[in-house]
């Protein structure tokens, strides 16, 4: 049984569909867009599995626990896979960035992952197994102008990943991260074309990533083939970051 946060659209939706194809029941978490989440649920069912919609704000006090409880109920008490994907951007140059823009991104992207992971750890510890994958970003490895809040949150995700991996290894729980490069989604659509053109010039493979590319990496990290991998960051970026 898998719980994917922010699964209504983008990488989260693609991950839910891919995990369904691999045989997992999927709890689709969403914050507000029930229509998009419903579409994701239909696609998961078309992929041959079952799904449940779980509405909730991962960064809100108390809601993360309720999200995990709903996923556990759907999974008959088991939670085998957690994918922390929910995230937002509020891009601005640091000199112009408001405290509200900073807090919004840190709260949802980093605090939300912390709260959901914490809620999921006890059931995974009881069953003595689990796979956690956090969606980071190459911005968390290299930084990015105009995204100090986002880069800081994603760097924090990487630190969280490595710490959870060390804490949970003795219970047969792995925790890894994927760090996508530029993947066209609703979050990246507002970028000016000249920015997208410059990004393309930095990608040795000569194309932007797809949500399916990232979902495939996540599917690998939660599979038995990755049972001896923990605390790692798998970069999915077409070669943008090579150091």
- Cα–Cα distance, 101 to 89 (Å, whole number): 9
pTM for the complete prediction? 0.95
**pLDDT above 90 coverage of the chain, percent:** 88
Q: 58 with 113: CB under 8 angstroms?
A: yes
Read off the pLDDT of each residue in 229-236 and give the average, rounded to a whole number: 98
- Cα–Cα distance, 174 to 162 (Å, whole number): 10
Higher-confidence residue: 201 or 29? Answer: 29
Distances (CA, A) of 14 to 37, 144, 227: 12, 25, 22
- 139-179, pLDDT tens digit by residue? 999 999 999 999 999 999 999 999 999 999 999 999 999 99
| Band of residue 228 on the pLDDT scale cut at 50, 70, 90 | very high
Higher-confidence residue: 136 or 182? Answer: 136
- For residue 228, indicate whether it is catalytic: no
Q: Which of 4, 150, 164, 183 is catalytic?
A: 150
Tell me the three state secondary structure of residue 166.
helix
């Amino acid at each position: 049984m898998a719980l994917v946060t922010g699964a209504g659209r983008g990488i989260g939706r693609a991950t839910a569909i891919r995990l369904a194809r691999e045989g997992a029941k999927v709890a689709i978490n969403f914050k507000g867009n029930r229509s998009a989440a419903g579409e994701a649920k239909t696609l998961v069912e078309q992929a041959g599995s079952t799904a449940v919609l779980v509405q909730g704000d991962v960064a809100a006090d108390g809601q993360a626990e309720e999200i995990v409880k709903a996923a556990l109920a759907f999974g008959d008490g088991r939670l085998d896979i957690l994918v922390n994907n929910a995230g937002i951007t509020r891009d601005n140059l640091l000199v112009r960035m408001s405290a509200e823009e900073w807090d919004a991104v840190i709260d949802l992207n980093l605090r939300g992952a912390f709260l959901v992971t914490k809620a999921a750890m006890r059931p995974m510890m009881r069953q003595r197994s689990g796979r956690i994958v956090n969606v980071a970003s190459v911005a968390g490895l290299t930084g990015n102008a105009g995204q100090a809040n986002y880069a800081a949150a994603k760097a924090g995700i990487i630190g969280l990943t490595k710490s959870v991996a060390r804490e949970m290894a003795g219970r047969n729980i792995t925790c890894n991260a994927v760090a996508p490069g530029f993947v066209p989604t609703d979050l990246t659509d507002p970028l000016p074309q000249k920015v997208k053109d410059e990004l393309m010039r930095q990608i040795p493979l000569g194309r932007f990533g797809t949500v399916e590319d990232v979902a495939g990496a996540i599917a690998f990290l939660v599979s038995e083939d990755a049972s001896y991998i923990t605390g790692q960051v798998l970069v999915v970026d077409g070669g943008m970051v090579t150091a």
